[in-house]
A and B are shown apart, each in its own frame.
Chain A
Amino acid sequence: MPEYKLVSKNFDYPDQPELQAAVSRGAYEQWKRVLSEQIPPDKITEEVKTAKLRGQGGAGFPAGVKWGFVPKASRKPKYLCVNADEGEPGTFKDRKLLERDPHQMLEGIAIACYAVDIHTAFIYMRGEFYEPQRIVQQAIDDAVAAGLLGKNILDSGFDLNVIIHMGAGAYICGEETALLNSLEGWKGWPRLKPPFPAVVGAFRSPTVINNVETLSGVPHILRMGGEAFQKIGTEKDGGTKLFAVSGHVEKPGVYELTMGSSLKELIYDVCGGIKGGKKLKAVIPGGSSAPVLKPEEIDVPLEFESMAAAGTMLGSGAVIVMDETVSIPQIFMIMARFYAHESCGQCTQCREGCTWIYKISQKILAGQGKPSDIDLMLDLADNMNGKTVCPLGAAMAMPTIAFLNKFRGEFEGMMKN
């Protein structure tokens, strides 16, 4: 199965973050074309819809459809928020996009803003991204100096101000409405939906929120045409997807595959198989919120719908591979610790439930677990699942249920006596 390099095409050129170099490889060509040909904004949105570009931040919502939700008549300013919070454990693809090809994303931002008539874009970047911040800020400054961003871009009369907003260490701020609150200078407490951000978003104005990778794909859609882009992938999931593979594989890293490639091939062919020839024990296929798969379950197409049908999710495309040496109860504790640490504390079930399950997981590791603890945790997870303001409650509940059901024996094994 071949890798298909679209957004990662220029990752290996060390000078790609520099404007000159990027331009020499085609950066901003589509942006210039949009402006010079005065392509109607609606046509761009339509093209993105045709391309079946799905949100790459985890939820997989079709990007063009989302853009279409923004009320055209609104007299309020509109905003784009670029989700560069990349916090889902196991995910490191956006870091690569930011560090290795910032202009590709900036071009995507510019085209998206043009399509939705937006003149201010905020890049919400997680606070720990010091290096990405420096690189992207430099790229913005260079692009502004070259007249590709900023005021009256290429004499078109179109203005676009791109601002980096640094987070301060809170996973929940990757959730889009928490991100908005954080951008507005508040705690990252997710908001109730509706209203959806496309209608009431940042500063109570219509707002598009897209992941770094989603936006990085946009110039390619304009270059190839929506239909060709879609054809690379599957019927519902156009184009490619970056997979961040970590853990026990020979060659961990970021790989770009066409939508619909097989998870098994990704692990065994692209990443060179399990490290040291050991036996595979478990795979978390879409970030730590995605229910774990057992070795016999990994022959699934990497595509939003197929993964959902397999009882898990494509999520952010973060694949964590675990070999036979790994203790599942230990991994489970780490996962629970993460959500207990990161629950924003707003909803009762998530606030208390994550901590409760985490504490039980510690007890089990300390050899103090009781068999009834497993059913208790399953029931607590059920009481959290899908019943909270944002999906974090479910992001804890779903993997909890999967770990406990699929590896019940291993948990029970720690409860002897």
Chain B
Amino acid sequence: MLELTINDRVVQVPDGLNVLQAAKHVGVEIPHFCYHPGLSVAGSCRMCQVEIEQGGRKRIDLSCSNAAVDGMIVRTNTPAVVKAVKGVLEFLLMNHPIDCPICDDAGECKLQNYYMLHGLYDSRLNVEKWHKPKVHPVGPTVVLDCERCVLCSRCVRFCDEIWGERQLGIFGHGSNEKLINYPGRELDNPYSGNVVDLCPVGALLDKDFRFQRRVWYLKSVKSICPLCSRGCNIYLHYDVDHDYQRPGRRIQRIKPRVNPDVNRWWICDRGRYGYSFIDAATRTKTPRLLGKDADWNYALQKAAELITTTQKQHGPGSISALIAPTASNEDAFMALRLFRERLNIPQISSDIPSSEKLTADQLLLTDDPYSNRRGFQDLGLGPADGGMNAEEIINAVKAGQIKGLIVVGTDLESLVGKQVESITGKLDWLIVGASQENQLWNRATVGLPLAVYAEYPGTFTNVKGMVQKFEKAVEPLGQALPQWQVWHKLAGHLGADWRFDDARAVFKALSAGKPDYESLNWHATFGVDKGCYPDNW
């Protein structure tokens, strides 16, 4: 810790911060454009100037490029500092198109926010503005407006330093400089969306989000990306009140949430843009019985009967369950409790080959598309825990040894291809839990519509064994239910009297005796934020 004085307040901050970070640490926001804690220091926007007093000598200097030092006196509000900062702002606005009403960044734009702060309402501009390319498709996911760009070079540094390949450059000289891609070569790295978060203005925007919502209508919850085993921390931004664009789409965008131990400030494009399944038309919304809609009680009653009958006739081993490790720890816990502990089903496997092949990259993406393989393993549902793996179970089905099969979170395409009959023909019944209609859904004896991660709270355990919680953003679609609740109810129909009021109760039960799990503070991450995302540096 070191002690410094910021705006006449004596404060203590951790070592190793620059002045800008130190000020932020104690709640003093210093305006800045080019500085970002995840990138090298450029020191070029000159917005972050403050007065620094050291050894009795005062100077106006950058807060981003000066380390906070014990005994330093920092002032962000002297008339000279305010004038200097205002001056920078005025220069930036000189060539800026000020098309805020049609800019998606309005509300999240630093230029706009600082303008409000400094109120330069009487423009002194008396010369023509430059014109530069607008609506330039800089890459498959991002659109660029060169006139809005303040040339902070954050996006350039992201490509150079974080992704490791030059894809954007600042070309030219002086005030006709232009940030853009190389002709014929796009901003197409698998992390390209991060430049949108980094861009302090509306110069780089997501095609996916373009003109979809005014950002102040967005609500936000903390979540975990379910699309690979890294478990990147994200915000889900949603809006269910303004249906004028993309009717039926509740989730509007995904933003990275800072976690220094997992994803730092970044997420990959796969995670960022891969959320449309949440509101897809193919979502399962109603329980099904023999291809027809049914109500939950009736469907579960039927399922209970099927299970009981088969077990009576053919023994516990005549039933098997395949559960993809995309489900939460709570889901897995409840499945195990029901199928293994209560029903003594010997063959339960989560070891289902994924039909999607991922290649890990140098940054975040792993080669495992399952978000919770590690959690399943920790809970006793790992590949080595069940005896048979999924392929062997399928072979047992084909051999007629298994009469009833429960399949959750997979369409089995990776195991049986499109030949669903090769197994359904051998089974007395098939119970399918799914959030999306798939090739099994309409052939299921009983179909159980499941909620997705955005619709209920829970935990995933990432590839490094970190237990991470995600929150509920929106209600489950239709009658869908979280998987654990389905097993909880089914257990009731099978005569059990379990009382798990909520996901937290399930988590408490599953974490008992597991230090990595017990240490998670369930309430600490809870809550709904309004509007823009707070990690916007």
Task: Given the known inter-chain contacts A352-B94, A387-B84, please indicate yes or no for A170 contacting B46, CB distance below 8 A.
Answer: no
Instruction: Please tell me if A359 contacts chain B, counting CB pairs below 8 Å.
Output: yes
Contact across chains for A388 and B91 when beta carbons are under 8 A apart:
no
User: Which chain A residues numbered 348 to 362 have a C-beta less than 8 Å away from chain B?
Assistant: 348-349, 351-356, 359-360
Given A356-B94, A373-B126, A376-B126: A348 touches B173 (CB 8 Å cut-off):
no
Question: Whole-angstrom distance from the CB of A364 to the nearest CB of chain B?
Answer: 11
- Kindly provide the distance from the CB of B47 to the nearest chain A CB, expressed in whole angstroms: 7
Q: Knowing A192-B41, A192-B43, A383-B90 are in contact, say whether A351-B126 is a contact too (CB < 8 A).
A: no
Q: Are B150 and A344 in contact (CB under 8 A)?
A: no
- A341 to B90 Cα, complex, angstroms: 20
Given A192-B43, A388-B46, A389-B44, are A352 and B126 neighbors across the interface (CB < 8 Å)?
Answer: no
In the bound assembly, the distance between CA atoms of A340 and B363 in angstroms comes to 41
Q: Are A351 and B47 in contact (CB under 8 A)?
A: no
Q: Which residues of A contact B150 (CB under 8 A)?
A: 348
Contact B87 A349 (CB under 8 A): yes
Which residues from chain A contact B60 at a C-beta distance below 8 Å? 386-387
Inter-subunit contact A356/B91 (CB<8 Å): yes
A355 and B46 in contact, given A349-B87, A363-B127, A387-B60 (Cβ under 8 angstroms) = no
> What residue of chain A has the Cβ atom nearest to residue B150's Cβ?
A348
A269 to B137, CA, bound (A): 65
Q: Is the CB of A340 within 8 A of B87?
A: no
A340 touches B174 (CB 8 A): yes
B46 pairs with A349, CB closer than 8 A? yes
In the bound complex, how far is the Cα of B421 from the Cα of A393, in angstroms?
76
Inter-chain contacts of A348 with B (CB < 8 A): 44-47, 88, 91-92, 150-151
A345 touches B173 (CB 8 A): yes
Residues of B within 8 A of A370 (CB): 126
Which of A341, A373, A383, A388 sits near B174, CB closer than 8 Å? Answer: A341
- Which chain A positions have C-beta within 8 A of B177? 345, 351
Q: A300 at the A/B interface (Cβ < 8 Å)? A: no
Q: Which residue of B lies closest to A386 (CB)?
A: B60
Interface status of B284 (Cβ within 8 A of chain A): no
* A385-404 interface code vs B (CB 8 A; 1 in, 0 out): 01111000000000000000
Interface presence of B329 (CB below 8 A): no
B153: nearest chain-A partner, CB-CB: A346
Contacts of B170 in A (CB 8 A): 345
Check B127 against A356 for contact (C-beta < 8 Å).
yes
B49 sits at the interface (CB 8 A): yes
- Closest Cβ of chain B: how far from A400's Cβ, in Å? 14
Q: A212 to B22, alpha carbons, bound, how many Å?
A: 43
A341 cross-chain contacts in B, Cβ below 8 A: 173-174
The closest CB in chain A to the CB of B95 belongs to A352
State whether the Cβ of A210 lies closer than 8 Å to any Cβ in chain B: no
Check B128 for interface membership: any CB of A closer than 8 A: yes
Which A residue's beta carbon lies closest to that of B92?
A348
A83 at the interface (CB under 8 A from B): no
Given A342-B174, A348-B88, A349-B91, check contact A376 B46 (CB 8 Å).
Answer: no
Known: A349-B88, A383-B83, A383-B87. A344 touches B126 (CB 8 A): no
A373 CA / B86 CA spacing, docked (Å): 19
A192 to B64, CA, bound (A): 11
Residue of B nearest to A341 (CB): B174
Other-chain residue from B43, B65, B91 in contact with A383 (beta carbon distance below 8 A): B91
Indicate which residue in B49, B83, B92, B174 contacts A343 across the interface (CB closer than 8 Å). Answer: B174
Cβ distance A142 to chain B, nearest Cβ, rounded Å: 37
Q: Which residues of A contact B151 (CB under 8 A)?
A: 345, 348, 351
**B401 CB to nearest chain A CB (Å):** 67
Q: For the complex, is B184 an interface residue (Cβ under 8 Å from A)?
A: no
Indicate which residue in A344, A349, A384, A387 contacts B173 across the interface (CB closer than 8 Å): A344
Answer yes or no: B172 CB below 8 A from chain A CBs. Answer: yes
In the bound complex, residues from chain A placing their C-beta under 8 Å from that of B521 are none
Cβ–Cβ contact A360 & B127, under 8 A? yes
CB of A415 within 8 A of chain B? Answer: no
Query: Contact at B124–A376, with CB atoms within 8 Å?
Result: yes
A351 to B179, CA, bound (A): 14
Q: Is the CB of A360 within 8 A of B91?
A: no
**Closest chain A residue to B60, Cβ basis:** A387
B41 neighbours in A (Cβ, 8 Å): 192
In the complex, A342→B177 CA distance in Å?
Answer: 12
Q: CA separation between A344 and B126, bound complex, in Å? A: 23
Distance, CA A70 to CA B390, complexed state (A): 67
Residues of A within 8 A of B43 (CB): 192, 389
Tell me which residues from 92 to 145 in chain B have a Cβ below 8 Å from any Cβ of chain A.
92, 94-95, 124, 126-128
Name A369's closest neighbour in chain B (CB-CB): B126
- For the complex, what is the distance from the CA of A344 to the CA of B174, rounded to whole Å? 5
User: 1/0 contact trace for B397-423 toward A, CB 8 Å?
Assistant: 000000000000000000000000000
- Shortest Cβ distance from A124 into chain B, in angstroms? 18
- Residues on the A chain within 8 Å of B128, using CB: 359
Contact of B91 among A340, A344, A353 (CB under 8 A): A353
Cβ of B174 and Cβ of A387 under 8 Å apart? no
* A345 to B45 CA separation, bound complex (whole angstroms): 10
Across the A-B interface, the 7 shortest Cβ-Cβ residue pairs: A383-B87, A352-B91, A359-B127, A355-B175, A343-B174, A345-B177, A192-B43
Known: A360-B127, A389-B43. 19 other contacts (CB 8 A): A340-B174, A341-B173, A345-B173, A346-B44, A347-B45, A348-B44, A348-B47, A348-B92, A348-B150, A349-B88, A351-B91, A351-B151, A354-B174, A356-B94, A363-B127, A383-B87, A387-B60, A387-B88, A388-B46
